[in-house]
Amino acid sequence: MLAPDANLFDVWQSHVQTPKSKNQDHQRMSAKKLFWRMTQGNILEGVFAINKPTGISSAQALRDIQKQFNPSELFAPWLAAEKAKIARENHNQRQRRKQIKKGNEVKIGHGGTLDPLATGVLICGVGKGTKELQGFLECTKTYEAVILFGAATDTYDRVGKVLKRAPYEHVTREMVEENLKQFRGKFMQLPPLYSALKMNGKPLYEYAREGKEIPREIERRPVEVLELELVEWMEGDTHEHKIPSEKAARAEINVARKVWKQVGQFKFEGDKDTETDDQDKDPLEEFNEKKRKMSEDQDDLVLERPVTKKGKEPNSETEEATMSGGLAEDAEASKQEASPPQKGPPAARLRMTVTSGFYVRSLCHDLGAAVKSSALMAELVRTRQGKFELGSNVLEYEDLEKGEKVWAPKVEEMIKDWNRGSRSAPIDEPAAAKKEAEVAVEAKKEQVEAQEPASAKAEDEESKKEIAAKPEEPAVIAGTA
């Protein structure tokens, strides 16, 4: 609780514009009562979690939360204390005005980005709680994802543009379950084309959007999958997931071609990738081919067929059909009805628990390549992060729109619960993420262990000792709105 300290009030009141008049003393007392009402509550700061809906970014979710928190009674004491702190510490008038404007908003950040397509647990820090978010970048997370086979997009999910299509009729549940084995444990993962990772100071997604060539190969990153299982298999006619209709442009396909060549994923045997094959044609040759085709189509329109003496074209099939009481059109229609409609691409729901730095989109993309097809992520839900889990201790996003009377008690209880016992342990210790360098060494060791001679094992142990001696690089704190 922040008491109405006389000195603190004088500093605060000096920034409240009160007109000079004979009633100035009365106005000063009114301002003092206002200050007491603003600071008589507890200053609430800490960590809570919210269920982010699909269709908005993590940054937009923070802005929506901040819009509710700023005018609320629950965080009025925090804002009052923050304004008083700014006024007390900044003596430069210009800088002070700038800081006071900033002090009108509740400080809030998140502990791990969720893609706009994704839903689920988004951990938020308020006030000093933003300093605790770094630990959540290192904790384990549990996801449920729907993977759709038959196509690959530039974003590796259903909101992207189609880069290629691939056959999917041969993909079965047994085949997918068998290929999931290679994605359990420690391995090196190639991040998606559209990701926030930077190269030469520029995010990869900017290269992809601009269709510019990436300066160098994208480096694989060490990741670990603690649990991975197929929980639901959906045949093509049993779900509503669809392959996107928008195709990627030539420049975007060329960027993907260069990246996928690193892992040999761009072309498969039996791949019907017409969009990709067209990229190998010379522009002039492609133009001439279209011109020839147009000319042939025009010739077909004016081509005269031989006419009989009676002025009728001979057509024995039509005559036979008419004489027997049938119509040629009906015969053709019956043939089309006889052929069964083609089933759509299959889909599967996966559940996984992973360490920090893991891309679920990359898993879906790579799994599609593993079964000799293509795949994209159609849905994603983060069901758990650290000790926050959906249905247990996570605020529903709809509660924000219901007003402070609904969300305030829940947020207050979550933050108080965090301050009571969870602050010192944001990471779930039994499955905590290991150092990135250590995971990289272990992943590499598992890949070559079968062929590795005994002498090489000793060298591996030495490399582990060297890595253990190096200081761990600090994790990047999530951005603050």
**Positions of the chain with pLDDT lower than 50, given as ranges:** 1-22, 26-40, 266-285, 299-305, 308-309, 311-314, 316-329, 331, 333-336, 424-427, 429-436, 448, 450-481
Q: Are 347 and 241 in contact (CB under 8 A)?
A: yes
Residues 6+ away with beta carbon under 8 Å from 71:
none
On whether residue 303 sits in a domain, the answer given is: no
Active site residue 115: yes
Q: Has residue 472 been placed in a domain?
A: no
Residue the block writes with tokens 């549990």: 142
Res 272: pLDDT: 46
pLDDT at 265: 54
Q: What does the alpha-carbon distance between residue 130 and residue 72 come to, in Å, rounded to a whole number? A: 19
In a domain, 301, yes or no: no
| 167 is a domain residue | yes
Residues 206 and 348 both lie in one domain: yes
* Residues 249 and 354 occupy one common structural domain: yes
> What are 46-70's pLDDT values in tens digits?
999 999 999 999 999 999 999 999 9
Residues 69 and 207 in one domain: no
Half-sphere exposure of 398 (CA within 13 A, CB side): 0
186 and 251 share a domain?
yes
pLDDT at residue 194, as a whole number: 73
Q: Are 139 and 131 in contact (CB under 8 A)?
A: no
For tokens 């761990």, what's the residue? 472
Q: Measured between alpha carbons, how far is residue 73 from residues 79, 379, 402, 405, 408 in Å?
A: 10, 37, 15, 10, 9
Which residue, among 37, 60, 36, has the nearest Cα to 50 in the 3D structure?
A: 60
Reduce the DSSP state of residue 231 to 3 states and report it. Answer: strand
User: Each residue of 23-48: pLDDT tens digit?
Assistant: 555 444 444 443 334 334 689 999 99
Task: Judge if 58 and 131 occupy the same domain.
Answer: yes
Any idea what DSSP says for residue 211?
T
Yes or no: say if 53 and 397 are a contact pair by the CB < 8 Å rule: yes
**Terminal-to-terminal C-alpha distance of the chain:** 26
- Tell me whether residue 293 is in a domain: no
How far does CA 128 lie from the centroid of its chain?
A: 27
Give the predicted TM-score (pTM) of the model: 0.67
Say what the pLDDT of residue 325 is.
43
Same domain for 105 and 157, yes or no, is no
Residues 261 and 381 in one domain: yes
| Rounded distance between C-alpha atoms, residue 303 and residue 286, angstroms | 26
Domain containing residue 451 = 438-467
Q: Are 173 and 252 in a shared domain? A: yes
Structure tokens at 327: 């119509």
Q: What is the DSSP letter of 419?
A: I
- Domain match, 110 and 198 both: no
**Pairing verdict, β 395-396 and 46-52:** parallel
What gap in Å lies between CA 168 and CA 173, rounded to an integer? 12
In a domain, 90, yes or no: yes
- Joined tokens for residue 85: 């702190």
pLDDT of residue 16: 43
In 324-475, alpha helices (H): 328-338, 360-370, 398-401, 404-417, 436-448, 454-469
With a CB cutoff of 8 Å and minimum separation 6, the contacts of 162 are 151, 152, 153, 243, 244, 245, 246, 247, 248, 275
Chain position carrying tokens 């990359």: 362
From the candidates 115, 157, 273, 366, give the one annotated as an active-site residue: 115
**Cα three-residue angle 285-290-293, rounded to 5 degrees:** 125
Neighbours of 324 (CB within 10 A): 8
* Same structural domain, 109 and 203: no
Q: What are the distances in angstroms from CA 363 to CA 259, 281, 375?
A: 16, 32, 9
Residues 175 and 265 grouped into a single domain: yes
- CATH of residue 189: 3.30.2350.10
- Look up tokens 């360490």; give the residue: 355
235 and 255 assigned to the same domain: yes
Tally of CA atoms within 13 A in the half-sphere of 181 that contains its CB? 5
Please indicate, yes or no, if residue 290 is contained in any of the structural domains: no
Which class for 55: exposed (0-12), middle (13-18), buried (19 or more C-beta within 10 A)? exposed
Answer whether 402's CB lies under 8 Å from 196's CB. no
- In angstroms, the CA 93 to CA 262 distance is 56
Rounded to the nearest 5 degrees, what angle is found at the Cα of 289, between the Cα atoms of 301 and 247? 100
User: d(Cα 44, Cα 76) in Å, to the nearest integer?
Assistant: 9
Give Cα separations from 472 to 135, 296, 445, 469 (angstroms): 14, 68, 21, 9
Whether residue 25 is contained in a domain is answered as: no
The domain total for the chain is 3
